[in-house]
Structure 1
Amino acid sequence: MKFNPDEIKEATKGDFDAAWNEGKKYVPNPGINEKYPRISLKYGKPHPVFDTIQKLREAYMRMGFEEFMNPIIVEDRDIHKQFGYEALAVLDRCFYIGGLPRPNVGISDERIIQIKNILGDIGDEGVEKIRLILHSYKKGEIEGDDLVPEMASGLKVADSKVAIMIDHVFPEFKSLVPVSSQNTLRSHMTSGWFISLGEMCEYRKVPLRLFSVDRGFRREQAEDATRLMAYYSASCVIMDENVSVEDGKAVAAGLLSQFGFSNFTFRPDEKRSKYYVPDTQTEVFAYHPKLVGSKTKYKDGWVEVATFGIYSPSALSQYNIPYPVMNLGMGVERLAMIL
């Protein structure tokens, strides 16, 4: 049933618990012909990005690559190990992971009165239960999302009343400021590959041909058609004793030809990232006939679609990796947009 958001917001301000309980009246009670199992669902439509991800997964596996999951949380010390003196520039675009500290909450006589005014006469025993639960929360024995249910269960009162009590009696919870850790959200799939390959050297034999299509996060100043704070990267690696730039060319052509691209050309990348061997970082340009004459900057049919290079021994050695590694990556959203 359709409802008026403005009315609900006003009611919530006045009495959150009452407004929350009133939500039940907006859930209809369907007639017998609108109930399961008489109703059925029709086939839906995939999102272009996830449709492209699935096609990329299939394309990689047709080329003999094994799917892999890389760490998404990366310590900043790993960024220093991988990027050398470029690390600070890379970390500037990383999201650091933070969390709220757990306050040391005391219960004064004034607060006891406030608690009983909201929850009713819970007695000294109830106040002591609140004190013990808050202490357990402080020590990490109770998680944040279990705090209200734990109190409600122990005191045998409605969880909505407990939530109101915490909000009104303990303002410390509302004034908490997040504290950053040394962990970052992965900004480059490369950060995960170094960690994963370093561990796999202990129990996997070369050659290794791995791919991963997963999230990356970058602290962009603004989002637009070419920059996203959260994006998908389609990345692969080949680790073997004799890996060269030619492997990158072969993988790029084999992968992208499955999406209708042809006539590939390879150009040196001016970025020269320090985690690649000098003069191996390469941009991949491909020709797609459907782009010819289009109202885009790719109207000549040529578009940059991927980058590859050979990981630097200087970075690989930080993880005790003794083999050369070719890495190729592309942005999924970019490919989906082109297609």
Structure 2
Amino acid sequence: MLSLTSQEKQVLDFLQNSVIGSYEIKDIANKTKMLNPTVSRAVLKLIKKELVEEIESKEIIIGEKGEQYKQKYLPEQQLYDKIIKIVEIIQQNNKTSIIGIPLKEVKEKINLTHVEFSVALGYLKQKGFIQVGSGMIVLLKKDKLLIPTQNYLYSIFPITRSEEIKKDSELFIYSVESTDDSQTILLQRGILVLAKIKKICLTKKGKEINISKIKSEIQFDVSAPVTLIYPGRRHPYNEVAKIVTKIFLEMGFQEMEGPMVETAFWCMDSMFIPQDHPARDVQDTYFVGKKGGLPDKKLVQEIQEVQENGGNTGSTGYQIPWSKDIASDLILRTHSTATTFRKFYFDKLKDVEKCKYFYIARIFRNEAIDATHLSEFAQVEGFVMADKLTLSHLKGFIKEFYAKLGVTKIKFKPVYNPYTEPSMQAYYYDEKLKKWDALINSGIFRPEALAPYGITKPVIAWGMGFNRLVMLLTKTKDMRDTLGPFCNLDWLRKRKLIEGELSDEN
């Protein structure tokens, strides 16, 4: 036996007593004072019971650009009215019939943008309302009828007009027929748009049924679709940061932090990067355009000596003059290692027996943006200081960290860094792409980099690309998919939580 819920009855009753016969769901909700999701569920159930059906039709509706013309005339109507008024004033004074008006004067007296004015002028000229030449406008037609595009717009839509338009509109004659290309013109300009509209109407069965004789249904359809709601959630970058932090804390590390705006001293000079290094060029680094302060004279002097001649390290240094002025340039931090050397100095780590620190830092570089490079990104910095540390210990730390993320197939290759020796790059094997990809840059700090801070113990250190780590954990192939103006919001809403294992499907 057929039964209906109260909501279904309400929708059915509205459709049976309506004049139009078909409505959008939002209109049914508005007329019946029900919520959109409630109406949607009722309609779905009525469709299953073959009492209503969904029909799709193409209708012309006001476009986004056309919304403003609900309260004011189209640009061509505004321009036409303005020209008529100017001509009437001139004719009253000069008693002439055909009047030429300077184009510049009309443009100055009407509140239209350059584009609106150009479109309106072209339309009036094309339709024979005006003639334009030698910087003058000549009015060819003068009447109180709405011009075709304005007439068509008003005749097919119940537009709420401003008081000024209501007052003036008494002078106009309206026609509901469009015998010209007004519709096409308004569609091309985006003032009108052709939209596919889904509406609900009664079936033959729905028209004939007597609602009062239908049994009320109080059951709940728990399988009925409802409006999806996406609650607030962590961004994948925050999720990965949480995973990385958890791993380092489990490995006995402490977290450090530093400023995003640094002097070149801390970002370059303090760690034995020469002042003629390409990374200092404006093509690679964002300069703030101001100078910053340097630390105490003793440290600055020791950095200068190491840079110029190696100081007491046995090195010859770079054999070039070192400049305090260059070192005091303020820049956006180009790598997180600047924070490591701040830690050496300000926390006096020369007096510490052993320590382990890490830092997830925002970095800025003037790089070309592509799938694996952004001008603003993040690095994960880490270092360990203790007696008798070797390259084997560094490899062990790297392997241990990535093993906790499910990456076990890793190999190492030697590379060059100004402030570490030996230095090495770690690579992992991507099973899906069947190729090796870069993971992390690392090394043991050179004596020249540590000597100014009085550190004699070996320090192993590394810096990994945090954004690429996010790509690994989210199974994405482009950094821009998860961060920035081109990220996929739908994916961000629907993606699964990151479990911390690369082998998991996320």
TM-score bracket, normalised by the shorter chain, equals: 0.5 to 0.7
Taking the aligned partners of 2:404 and 2:350, their CA distance within structure 1 comes to 33
Equivalent position SS for 1:56? helix
The question of whether the paired residues in 2 share the 8 Å contact of 1:82 and 1:318 is answered with no
CA RMSD of aligned residues (A): 2.7
Matches within 5 A, 1:147-162: none
Partner of 2:428: 286
Structure showing greater Rg:
2
How far 1:273 sits from its partner (Å)?
A: 1.3
How far 1:234 sits from its partner (Å)?
A: 0.8
Equivalent position SS for 1:85? coil
Taking the aligned partners of 1:70 and 1:204, their CA distance within structure 2 comes to 21
How far 1:67 sits from its partner (Å)?
A: 1.0
Residue 224 (structure 1) aligned to one of 370, 388, 394: 370
Equivalent position SS for 2:372? coil
Percent identity, aligned pairs only, is 24
Residue 46 (structure 1) aligned to one of 230, 234, 240: 234
Amino acid at match of 1:190: T
Partner of 1:94: 285
Amino acid at match of 1:245: L
TM-score normalized by the length of structure 1: 0.56
Taking the aligned partners of 1:223 and 1:248, their CA distance within structure 2 comes to 31
The question of whether the paired residues in 1 share the 8 Å contact of 2:285 and 2:366 is answered with yes
Partner of 1:122: none
Where in structure 2 are there 5+ consecutive unaligned residues? 1-63, 69-110, 112-228, 291-327, 474-506
Taking the aligned partners of 1:215 and 1:310, their CA distance within structure 2 comes to 23
Deviation string, structure 1 residues 82-104 (Cα, Å, up to 9, x no partner): 244365312122212247xxxxx
The question of whether the paired residues in 2 share the 8 Å contact of 1:198 and 1:319 is answered with yes
Taking the aligned partners of 1:244 and 1:203, their CA distance within structure 2 comes to 19
Equivalent position SS for 2:338? helix
Q: Name whichever of 78-87 and 48-57 sits farther off.
A: 78-87
The question of whether the paired residues in 1 share the 8 Å contact of 2:443 and 2:460 is answered with yes
How far 1:73 sits from its partner (Å)?
A: 2.7
How far 1:76 sits from its partner (Å)?
A: 1.6
Closer, same or farther: CA 42–326 of 1 in aligned 2, 3 Å? same
Taking the aligned partners of 1:51 and 1:202, their CA distance within structure 2 comes to 31
Partner of 2:34: none
Q: State yes or no: 1:326 paired with 2:460.
A: yes
Residue 209 (structure 1) aligned to one of 352, 356, 381: 356
Taking the aligned partners of 2:385 and 2:272, their CA distance within structure 1 comes to 19
Taking the aligned partners of 1:251 and 1:84, their CA distance within structure 2 comes to 25
Q: State yes or no: 1:62 paired with 2:250.
A: yes
Q: State yes or no: 1:310 paired with 2:444.
A: yes
Taking the aligned partners of 1:309 and 1:213, their CA distance within structure 2 comes to 18
Amino acid at match of 2:380: A
The question of whether the paired residues in 2 share the 8 Å contact of 1:74 and 1:192 is answered with no
- Number of residue equivalences: 211
Partner of 1:104: none
Q: State yes or no: 1:265 paired with 2:411.
A: yes
Deviation string, structure 1 residues 146-193 (Cα, Å, up to 9, x no partner): xxxxxxxxxxxxxxxxxxxxxxxxxxxxxxxxxxx7211211111221
Taking the aligned partners of 1:337 and 1:253, their CA distance within structure 2 comes to 19
Between the two structures, name the one with larger relative contact order (CA 8 Å, sep ≥ 6): 1
Amino acid at match of 1:233: Q
Q: State yes or no: 1:239 paired with 2:385.
A: yes
Closer, same or farther: CA 56–226 of 1 in aligned 2, 3 Å? same
The question of whether the paired residues in 2 share the 8 Å contact of 1:309 and 1:326 is answered with yes
Where in structure 1 are there 5+ consecutive unaligned residues? 8-13, 15-40, 100-180
How far 1:226 sits from its partner (Å)?
A: 1.9
Q: Name whichever of 236-245 and 58-67 sits farther off.
A: 236-245
Q: State yes or no: 1:249 paired with 2:391.
A: no
